[in-house]
Structure 1
Amino acid sequence: MTRERRKSERLRAGALPDPSSVQGIVELAADLAVYLSPAGDVEGISVNPDCPSLGCLDHWVGRNFNSFLTVESVAKLDERIAEMRADANMTPRWIEINHVDNATWEFPIRYSIHRIYGGDHLLLLGRDMQPIAEVQQRLVSEQLARERDQQLLRGEQTFYNVALEASETGLIMLEPESGKIRDLNSSAALLLGTKASTLTGSSLAQAFEGRKREELLDALSSAARTDEAKGVDLVARRNGHSLTVYPDYFRAAGQLFILCRLVPVDANMATSADVAQSTALLFASTSDAIVLTDGKGTIREANESFLIMADAAQMRDVRGTSFSDYLARGSVDMKIMLEAALKKGRLSNYATKITSLTGTRTGVDISASHLESHGGDFGYGFVIRGVSSNTAADGEAPTSAVNEDAMKNVMDLVGTASLKELVSATSDVIEKLCIETAVQLTGNNRVAAAEMLGLSRQSLYVKLRKHGLMNADSDDIS
């Protein structure tokens, strides 16, 4: 059957307005040809036999073409048709739109739009873009798969780095051919007396005394091949520590590497890493509250005991706040402790109270230290120990004794003096007790005592003389 005689079964529901010979040309020139009425209804359709993926689309005939387009494609096609009808001489341009059919099937077609004999009928000649779209989808899938692989690789690298750094044993990854350090942890760097970043990529022989590269590699290779755990005794060049290196071969990605374990010859020699770890454990587990602040008293770190004392749920509730916010006398207590610690280096057994976030108060003794490092001023450290409510803080016993004696003397006056005179005598006793207590709490710091009592320095000196609390020796309190 010739192509001219095939009235094209694909056109049985409609016909293109061309001779039969032209129909065959259209069928082969385009993957999909659609003949539209001025109202946008499909009057004829032709599918290239070499595009079986498009299937049979005869059911489009007699229905509006837009019903087989996605929402965004409808707007795009209507805009192009409007431009063509507004400009009769407009050159046909390609337009890519997406078709939908049978609810789930979606496929892209690239059309050129042509007028038929200058009328309002349109002929759409389309190329099937599904093969290109499939290639693009495969490229996107490959890119996503590559990104997932990279994410997994980064995760594995993170696990490796965390495990390496968590090890208390000094570990070095060594390339056996070149003798260069591929990786090492902080414990190994501390044993060698330097930083890990300084040694990474350098020759292992440079880290030890009296060993040439070839000689050291031969010794490590021989020790690694033996069945026994044989070590190589070496001396670190930077700090002179005697170390034993235990090498083992391992293979990664088809290449051989040597894992070297560094052990101090003196088993009793504590490394910096051991000391740091022990200090961290003490900080976390001690029953005494510990607070570290910067030079202005802002909290940098605190242990669990302080969080319990302050009724704080987690560290972020207190970090960045001022330590004075948790002291009963606020900035007055803070100023006294910081000045004493800065002047003498430390302050012991300062009696005050800690106010929690919920408002409860706890009597405490605080020891403060000024912390300095090689880089300069680090800040202050405070060790806070709770005191029993039945135990008087330092400096309170004399006050209590004076309080009882003074009040007894006042009570003895009952019946011999008027109430006004009794109240006046009581006020003087209380005033004297408050001044004595403030001076004792501040370590005879008159400026801090005046600030604590809300007095000027001159007024404090007047009251000290009034109550006989200042004698020839300005450092003594009667």
Structure 2
Amino acid sequence: MTKQTRTSERLRAGVLPDPTHIEHLIEQACDIAVVVDVQGVVTGISVNSDSASLGCLDHWVGRPFDDFLTEESVSKFHDRVARMRADTALVPRPIEINHIDNAKWEFPIRYSLHRIANTGAILMLGRDMQPFAEVQQRLVREQMARERDQQKLRGAETYFRVVLEASDTPMALVDPESGRIGDLNSAAAELMGGKADLLTGSAIAQAFEGRRRSEFMDALKSAASSDEMKGVEVVARRNGRVITICPQFFRASGDLVLLCRMATLEDVDAGGAELANTLSSLFASTTDAIVLVDLKGVIREANEAFLVMTDAAQLRDIKDQSLSEFLSRGAVDMKLILENTIKSGRLRSYSAQLKSVVGTRLPVEISAAHLRQRGGDMGLGLIIRDVTPLEQGAATDSSAMVSDDAMKNVMDLVGTASLKELVSATSDVIEKMCIETAVQMTNNNRVAAAEMLGLSRQSLYVKLRKHGLLHSGDE
């Protein structure tokens, strides 16, 4: 079979003009070809094999063409055909109509209309517009998405400006390269003696006395990069006020920006003095003991409540001594507090006993925090709370130290074993509970647990193995 014959068979469905001379034209010029007779019935159809999205439309043959048009396309099609038949010299313009098929499938086609001589029928050569429609839909969706993004951006900018203006702290955003003010709030403009709209976009160095731009920007960058909270002291050119600028770097959309917070020396001194007085009053009057120690556990400062708990007459009696001397388990407690606090930054609810200088003991609960600042490490701050009422309440319940299941197992032995055996079983239960508690308190640190229990490391491993507390892989 020749290529021409195969093409002819593929193009013909129903009755089409003999395609001997036009099959190549139809193949290259259109995606779909339809012949509609005078009554508007489809007498022939051809679909280009490259237009797979159109599928097979042979079932259109013998049915009215209007059955496969959307409602708005029917009137458009009939109007164009009527004008074409009324004026035989008229060369009709292409028409774009929307087809429907199987009640759901809809696709747009752009047709050029051609008269078939002596028959009154019309040959319609169409180009599938669905790819163009999809591109248009994507463009519309992208445009809508862009508009939504712009609305979000405008909303974010509004939030930023409202928050910036509502802040009582004078702030300015400065480009670290050009040294120009990108934005600032009214508080900063007032402090600098100008107006926000006039200062925006100007060089920040121009607002201060005796400052060259390059020198001033180097000072701001150096302060922002420093580990210490250093400020740059300047004098406002317009009002002569002494201002301290505390710059800080942050990155926005890949660009570095300087956030410059400003304050007068009066504000800095007043704020710092007020906070210091408040903390000093809290430190002195609280009923809980507060102790400041260095990283070795040596006492640097303590409040009156700690002196009362330890029966110390004055601070110099306990200052520069190790806190471990006032803990019942001594170095073991101190080591656990230091290691866990430095590791995680804080420690809460550590139970211990506090020893006074005269030897009395007090049950306490200790919370600790690792104190740090940019200048260096300040040590640890500990809050020690007396829990004597809680301990007394717990002591009234004699079975609180032993679990109900363990006590039941022991009581079940009464009558079946001697008193010596019963005491031995009870001792094993208590021994197991003490070992479990020590291991838990030391976060599974076997060396610290052994020190806490007064055992050697080897003895602890023997007892762990005895009570089934030594898991596989721990040995």
TM-score by length of 1: 0.53
Q: Secondary structure of the residue that 2:106 maps to in structure 1? A: strand
One-letter amino acid of the structure 1 residue matched with residue 42 of structure 2: V
**1:309-368 Cα distance to aligned partner (Å, 9 max, x none):** xxxxxxxxxxxxxxxxxxxxxxxxxxxxxxxxxxxxxxxxxxxxxxxxxxxxxxxxxxxx
**1:74-113 Cα distance to aligned partner (Å, 9 max, x none):** 1111011100111122223211111111222211111111
Q: Which residue of 2 aligns with 1:343?
A: none
Alignment of 1:206-355 (within 5 A): 206-267=206-267
Given that 2:68 and 2:101 are in contact with CA atoms closer than 8 Å, whether structure 1 keeps it comes out as yes
Q: Which residue of 1 aligns with 2:350?
A: none
CA distance in 2, matches of 1:7, 1:267: 91
Q: CA RMSD in A?
A: 2.2
**1:414-453 Cα distance to aligned partner (Å, 9 max, x none):** xxxxxxxxxxxxxxxxxxxxxxxxxxxxxxxxxxxxxxxx
CA distance in 2, matches of 1:218, 1:148: 40
Please report how far the alpha carbon of residue 22 of structure 1 lies from its aligned counterpart in structure 2 after TM superposition: 3.8
Q: Which runs of 5+ in 1 are unaligned?
A: 271-478
Please report how far the alpha carbon of residue 267 of structure 1 lies from its aligned counterpart in structure 2 after TM superposition: 2.5
* Distance change >3 Å, CA 262–CA 25, structure 1 → 2: closer
Q: Which residue of 2 aligns with 1:385?
A: none
* Distance change >3 Å, CA 212–CA 12, structure 1 → 2: closer
Q: Which residue of 1 aligns with 2:81?
A: 81
Given that 1:4 and 1:21 are in contact with CA atoms closer than 8 Å, whether structure 2 keeps it comes out as no
Q: Which residue of 1 aligns with 2:195?
A: 195
Is residue 71 of structure 2 the alignment partner of residue 71 of structure 1?
yes
CA distance in 1, matches of 2:164, 2:29: 66
* Distance change >3 Å, CA 246–CA 45, structure 1 → 2: same
CA distance in 2, matches of 1:254, 1:29: 51
Given that 1:173 and 1:257 are in contact with CA atoms closer than 8 Å, whether structure 2 keeps it comes out as yes
* Distance change >3 Å, CA 243–CA 222, structure 1 → 2: same
**1:436-474 Cα distance to aligned partner (Å, 9 max, x none):** xxxxxxxxxxxxxxxxxxxxxxxxxxxxxxxxxxxxxxx
* Distance change >3 Å, CA 110–CA 40, structure 1 → 2: same
Given that 2:42 and 2:63 are in contact with CA atoms closer than 8 Å, whether structure 1 keeps it comes out as yes
Please report how far the alpha carbon of residue 117 of structure 1 lies from its aligned counterpart in structure 2 after TM superposition: 1.3
Please report how far the alpha carbon of residue 62 of structure 1 lies from its aligned counterpart in structure 2 after TM superposition: 1.2
**1:185-220 Cα distance to aligned partner (Å, 9 max, x none):** 111011112211111111111111222222222222
Q: Secondary structure of the residue that 2:267 maps to in structure 1? A: coil
Please report how far the alpha carbon of residue 19 of structure 1 lies from its aligned counterpart in structure 2 after TM superposition: 5.0
One-letter amino acid of the structure 2 residue matched with residue 207 of structure 1: A
Q: Which residue of 1 aligns with 2:44?
A: 44
One-letter amino acid of the structure 2 residue matched with residue 257 of structure 1: V
* Distance change >3 Å, CA 40–CA 192, structure 1 → 2: same
Q: Which residue of 1 aligns with 2:183?
A: 183
One-letter amino acid of the structure 1 residue matched with residue 14 of structure 2: G
CA distance in 1, matches of 2:106, 2:221: 64
CA distance in 2, matches of 1:182, 1:50: 57
Is residue 120 of structure 2 the alignment partner of residue 120 of structure 1?
yes
Q: Secondary structure of the residue that 1:125 maps to in structure 2? A: strand
CA distance in 2, matches of 1:200, 1:74: 62
Given that 2:8 and 2:20 are in contact with CA atoms closer than 8 Å, whether structure 1 keeps it comes out as no
Given that 1:4 and 1:24 are in contact with CA atoms closer than 8 Å, whether structure 2 keeps it comes out as no
Please report how far the alpha carbon of residue 34 of structure 1 lies from its aligned counterpart in structure 2 after TM superposition: 0.7
Is residue 130 of structure 2 the alignment partner of residue 130 of structure 1?
yes
**1:130-149 Cα distance to aligned partner (Å, 9 max, x none):** 22222222222222222222
* Distance change >3 Å, CA 268–CA 260, structure 1 → 2: closer
Of 194-203 and 151-160, the range deviating more from structure 2:
151-160
One-letter amino acid of the structure 1 residue matched with residue 117 of structure 2: Y
Q: Following TM superposition, where does structure 1 have runs of at least 4 consecutive aligned residues deviating by more than 4 angstroms?
A: 7-13
One-letter amino acid of the structure 1 residue matched with residue 188 of structure 2: A
Given that 1:7 and 1:20 are in contact with CA atoms closer than 8 Å, whether structure 2 keeps it comes out as no
How many percent of aligned residue pairs carry the same amino acid? 61
CA distance in 2, matches of 1:205, 1:6: 84
Q: Which runs of 5+ in 2 are unaligned?
A: 271-475
Q: Which residue of 2 aligns with 1:94?
A: 94
Is residue 8 of structure 2 the alignment partner of residue 35 of structure 1?
no
CA distance in 2, matches of 1:15, 1:239: 95
Q: Secondary structure of the residue that 2:107 maps to in structure 1? A: strand
CA distance in 1, matches of 2:262, 2:22: 87
